[in-house]
Structure 1
């Protein structure tokens, strides 16, 4: 009996030791004296994200969110930020609520992912006020995060999950143009396989291709016009522009296409050049930006003219 008791006591001690090592005794379900992490979205003027070598800054400019300029400086008119991504980040900050204090020891920051590996989020509230949070990629469950505040040793379990992807493409606006279909007057497409021009004619469309002109089928023509409301890219190529500088991975198999769209008396000229992973696309109105468009999408933008004919 004594031997059994000794074994049970030893097992209990081992379990207690294991629980201590895994941080069970750090958890404090009490939220007494917990900080209020919620922010007023209207006061946020800038958000800075950094992790490892990645750094992204977005700022409010006359009601429009923009990324920092390409040279990394702030305060200059950089490219548009994705309004949906910014809105979701602000929504999380507005709703952030501390669920529990999980540790008060800096020695355990690594365990909860809020040390050097954490996402640093600097939120500027105007008038020189900044709140800095260190956010773990994982939390106690899929809907929450571990978070600590700068200057505070405590780590908190926070809901909703505050983690955001700190990659530029997630934050950069992929919208290229937004053209109302009813305002489009002409669509001209040129590729190695086909060339055609659609022009609006009253309530319908006229198709011109291979020297022939005739009425176009209304449904596929309207579908093509709707592709520009809005027209969004799938990403960016920041290392090259489409066109004469050899953006294609294989110059001998370069597929170059051109698309012109006239709407409201304004013409938008798009150029597509094949690259590994898709097509590099430029717009004459924004020559400094090179967008990425997946190859499958060009089937919509450059349809076979036969499919546009009024049968």
Structure 2
């Protein structure tokens, strides 16, 4: 089958062996697969897959079940599913652990479904499981025009939080505002505070200003460092404000932990998708054969929403 592989720091298409479904695994014919920052980092050699995970690209996908391994109990051949995977999603076929699979709502087309799992799982886990965001709290979401940022804005707004979103591209601010946020230039976020929660999707450029913008007993969750990972912190200010500084990734977690994230997404987020309260903006789609161009496009800042590959 064809799949995204990485050579000399670049994404390209190669021929690899078809995956076979193991115990409690689904074999899925992939209809759409989103790109994420972790894919770009892996292409450049900076984010190796966990032991046992496919070396091919793709951390999220959606498609149709074409075979099941022994022990599968929930999904059958012909079912529409989507999942966060540890690799191998950007391919014609993908083996998916059944506990990670979620049903694709009828309201989602393949493009949207392929761009849903990773960003909404990441955003929901960071905002609610990690930071404990509550109704009425003020949250600042950095990098809000990207895939995770767009998901986070919608989830926070749906939960009744007051959302401020930093968006570097002025042309994207109106669209982010329509999702329920006060969209501003990143240079202005300190004055827009204080915030109970700050979701950091950008990295170093927002420090140490994040501490200035944070309310006493506020929480900062770091889940993106694409613009830089090293900062200098005033530990005394952390102490005075009684700050909780959190950070997280999904990919290295155990199967059981990742399955718990999927169940929370089904319980709390899929009903919002089905009601139309949440959507998955897609910036652009590319055929799988044009994966190299898709990765190049994804690396350029300024777009709104997801980049999705179509096998």
- TM-score range (shorter-chain normalised) is under 0.3
Higher RCO (C-alpha 8 Å, min separation 6): 2
Specify which structure has the higher proportion of helix.
2
Larger Rg, first or second structure (1 or 2): 1
> TM-score by structure 1 length?
0.25
> TM-score by structure 2 length?
0.25
